[in-house]
Amino acid sequence: MINRKTISKCRVYDEKYRTWIKEPLMIYPGEPIVKQGHTIQWWTGVKAKGNIDLYEGDIVRTQSEPTMSSVFGSCIYTRGVVTWLREGFCICQSYVGGDELSNYVDCDLEIIGNIFDNPELLEDCAIAKKMREEGSN
């Protein structure tokens, strides 16, 4: 199981200037995800479609049509946001809640945006909307 104490890769968003930080930022295990106006998004340890790193805060699309493999798995929903929930990474989906990222291992996860650059993709996701509102206060 991936946990924040073992993750060494992250990306950082500067909330004041609304841009991604390219320079290194010193981060220590157990620190909060918001540090001096910067939001830290941890790598999940998973690669999405196209061999792209999947980070906390990414908005993903799973299979749009249920198949036999997805009927028995978690791939029947189409969109969610990667979130740290219940001591692990989850995909939170509108009206469904959060389900562990490991349940999507057989899904073809495609990154379609992230919570900062594409907030319009979350308008129908109640969980992500609440998280966004709490983060802006």
Any domain includes 31: no
**CATH number, domain containing residue 65:** 2.30.30.290
Any domain includes 30: no
Any domain includes 36: no
Question: CB neighbours of 2 closer than 8 A, spacing ≥ 6?
Answer: 44, 45, 88, 89
**For residue 121, which of 58, 49, 39, 65 has the smallest C-alpha distance?**
58
The fraction of the chain above a pLDDT of 90, given in percent, is: 19
Number of domains in the chain: 1
Task: Give the Cα separation of 17 and 100 in Å (integer).
Answer: 32
Any domain includes 9: no
Any domain includes 123: yes
Q: Can you give the residue range of the structural domain that contains 104?
A: 44-135
Any domain includes 19: no
The string of pLDDT tens digits covering residues 7-27 is 568 888 998 899 998 887 776
The string of pLDDT tens digits covering residues 104-114 is 777 778 999 99
